[in-house]
Amino acid sequence: MGKRHLPALLITPILYCGLLSTSMLTPAIAQEDASVVSYEPDYFLKFEPVSLLDMLQRIPGVPEILNKNRRSRSQRGFGSGGDQILIDGRRLAGKSNNINDALSRISANQVAKIDLIRGAASGLDVQSQGLVINITLAEGASKSTTFWKVYGEYTEGYKFIPQFLVSHSGQKGGLEYTITAERKNDFGYRPREEVFYDGNDVITGAQDVDSSFNFKGIKLTSNLTYTFSDGDELRLNGLYDPNQFNTFETRIETGNDPDHVIWNGDRDNARWEVGGDYTFNLGSFGKFKSLFVVNQNTEDTEVKRERDYIDPRFLYRNEFTDGKLSEKIFRSSTTVNVIGNQSLEVGGEVAINTFEKIFESFGRDTAAEELLLGTSSNVDIKENRYEIFAIHNLNLASKLVLQSSITTEFSKIVADNLFADGSVDRRDTSFKYFKPRVNLRYDHTDSDQVRITIEKKVSQLRFNTFVTSYDAQNDEVRFGNTNLRPTQTWEFIFAYEHRLPNDTGSIEGQVFYHHRKDHQTRVDFTEYKDFANNDIGVDEFFALPPDAALRDATSFTSSQGNIPSAYTYGIDLKSNVRLGFIGLPEATLSLGYKFEKRKSIDQFTKLLRDFARHSDHVYNVNYRHDITKWKFSYGVDMNIRSDWANFDMRYFNPSSPSASIKAFAEYNLNGGIKMRVDVLEITGSQGHSTTLRYSDHIRFNEIYKREEKENNKPRAVQVSLQGSF
């Protein structure tokens, strides 16, 4: 599939050459230097934007960053790399409090300027090898405004669910504030069809799965900014987000071994967060800034699994999960100007993470029996992490900027496995990491930029993998592992970017290589014995003569674990272009292609495989057309991934995902009100997958069952009205 689409992407830059000789409407932008492009408010007037988010969506290349920010990600501390969005030169002091939400609540008339900064730059809160978007808000302008949005979604075969958001911003003296309330509702379902085959490829049965969900929540956020008379500034933000998520799934199986089960889940979740930053000038000594965030996420889940093929229906398994995750981060630094065109930032960061989670699973075979505790996991974790860092910016020449940093991290993890008899199995581990980073930016011309980055990163541990859980997709218990170590990665990146004239777009290419140490993947934790009950290794076990009794006596077990190394390499191509050369100056086409090989040794087969759930080829197409004379806009967004596979000790699951396609249309009504319609999951499918299930261990190569699945995702339509006053 990848080879068929690649020529179309490679030929696109040839079409762009027509732009060099095509007369274009010059946009209202000012180019400050080779690495910064500034957009003034006048540039956006013809689009009649309601919010800051509306403005950003009109800038080529920015929608891709907005989409990345919508995805949940786990980063170590505040994080400082990659593409970033800043407000007045600083990031939002929060992690759960998403920056995209804040952008949608800022009125368009509050914006003074939007800067696109490419590559390394001093004076910002972040280090970036990509694009930084810095929004400057207007000073002294009236910021008293109320933003509102009413929206809802209709899912094919379901019902329309209304939601709303209201946000008020005000100013009194040196105090600026924003208070937001949002009511969230979501209903839908995810059906799929499965056909089962035995080891001889004979059909043994089929299963229809119908999974529906119901989500309800309230989200309250606030942002406060106080500017002191001497220019110092204090910013605070808060979040409170309680919600409920209920699932109901029926699995109706026919064939040789028919079954009918019902899975009913009820999860209560609540998040809160408080964050802030304070900046003040130290005169000739530079500038001091500090950030902090305190948050907590609680979860209370019950899942009931019932058999319904006999009368009366009875509960055969009941699972309970109770968890709490909290995080406290404090970061402070001082920036000073040193000799020549240099600046130096030194500081430190402290992060304290706690995690408590209990998982219990009760089961029985018949309705006459009592529910007995089958699996229990109770984990209590505390991680203390300390960092000291220095970031140096040096302008080697007018076109050459070098940014380097050194970070030393000290961390300590105490993880307790608490058992029912009161005993404790404690893991007490300390780590020390040295993390250098070098980023070189060379502006060959005002339109051409080369960036080279070498950096060592350390991943954030996902504490959920420390705890035993239930894998609903494969209908099995997944054991936790409290001995996991963070993954260390050396990243080598070379990037080239060319900006087309008159703000008509850009073309960017990136080549990268990542080497991983302590890579996390599924690992064999089986305790292997020989015929004399002596401990042996896995290779020695499978070298023994076949013996059914020894095999039956072995408890084959897998879990998440670390392996010595893995690697990643590839290319990332992006292009954004305004289509003025074909008579559509208000239309923008963005194309992306990423080829990435992620390789590690499968710990069960000893084969070199791609990472689980990874696609080697990813294509993105985004088209947007603003017809300003009609006050109308429309567009299409498409994501295509090549085949991927998931695997473990007892199964191999290759999948062919279908394209994800969505479209929108929006119209500006009188009075500054915008109406928008989004059509989601146009294909109505998530693709096809196959699951090969093996007896005991995949290395025996005994397939007892093959499952063919068609995964559907019903189409949905979202309708919204939004405005401000």
Q: Is 614 helix (H, G, I), strand (E, B) or coil?
A: coil
Q: Let me know: does 100 contact 70? Beta carbons within 8 Å.
A: yes
pLDDT tens sequence across 52-76? 888 888 887 777 777 766 554 555 6
How far is residue 273's CA from residue 238's CA, in Å, rounded to a whole number? 6
Is the pLDDT assigned to residue 8 strictly greater than 50?
A: no
pLDDT at 98: 63
Give the length of the chain: 725
Burial (0-12, 13-18, 19+ Cβ within 10 Å), 381: buried
Is residue 31 pLDDT above 80, yes or no? no
Q: Report residue 543 CA to chain centroid gap.
A: 43
Range 76-87 average pLDDT = 62
123 — pLDDT class (breaks 50, 70, 90): low
The pTM of the full predicted model, rounded to 2 decimals, is 0.84
Least confident of 66-75, 154-163, 282-291, 598-607: 66-75
Kindly state the percentage of the chain with pLDDT values over 70: 88
User: 622: how many CB neighbours lie within 10 A of its CB?
Assistant: 19
Cα dist from 206 to 196, 257, 357, 465, whole Å: 6, 10, 36, 32
CB 284 within 8 A of CB 335: no
Query: pLDDT tens across 223-245, in order?
Result: 888 888 777 788 888 999 999 99
**What is the rounded CA–CA span in Å between residue 215 and residue 269?**
11
Phi then psi dihedrals of residue 67, to 5 deg = -65, -40
**Terminal Cα distance for the chain, rounded:** 50
What distance lies between CA 695 and its chain's CA centroid? 35
The distance of Cα 312 from the centroid of its chain, to the nearest Å, equals: 44
Cα Rg, the chain, nearest whole Å: 28
- 415 pLDDT above the threshold of 60: yes
CA distance linking residue 575 with residue 141, whole number of Å:
36
For residue 17, the model assigns a pLDDT of 43
How many other β-carbons are positioned within 10 Å of the β-carbon of residue 339? 5
How many other C-beta atoms are found inside a 10 Å radius of the C-beta of residue 202?
9
Q: Please give the residue that has the higher pLDDT: either 605 or 287.
A: 605
Contacts of 68 (CB under 8 A, 6+ apart): 83
Instruction: Give 549's contacts (C-beta < 8 A, 6+ positions apart).
Output: none
Among the listed residues 707, 606, 593, 724, the one whose alpha carbon sits nearest the alpha carbon of residue 5: 593
**Secondary structure in 3-state letters for 40-89:** CHHHHHHHCCCEHHHHHCCCCCHHHHHHHHHCCCCCCCCCCCCCEEEECC
- Tell me: cis bond preceding 312? Omega within 30 of 0 counts: yes
Tokens 């008899």 belong to: 421
> What is the C-alpha separation between 155 and 259, in angstroms, rounded?
29
Angle at 499 between CA 28 and CA 61, to 5 degrees: 75
Report the chain's mean pLDDT, rounded to a whole number.
84
- Domains annotated on the chain, with CATH: 34-141 (2.170.130.10), 143-309 (no CATH), 500-725 (2.40.170.20)
Closest CA to 389 of 449, 458, 298: 458
Query: If you average pLDDT over residues 375-382, what whole number do you get?
Result: 90
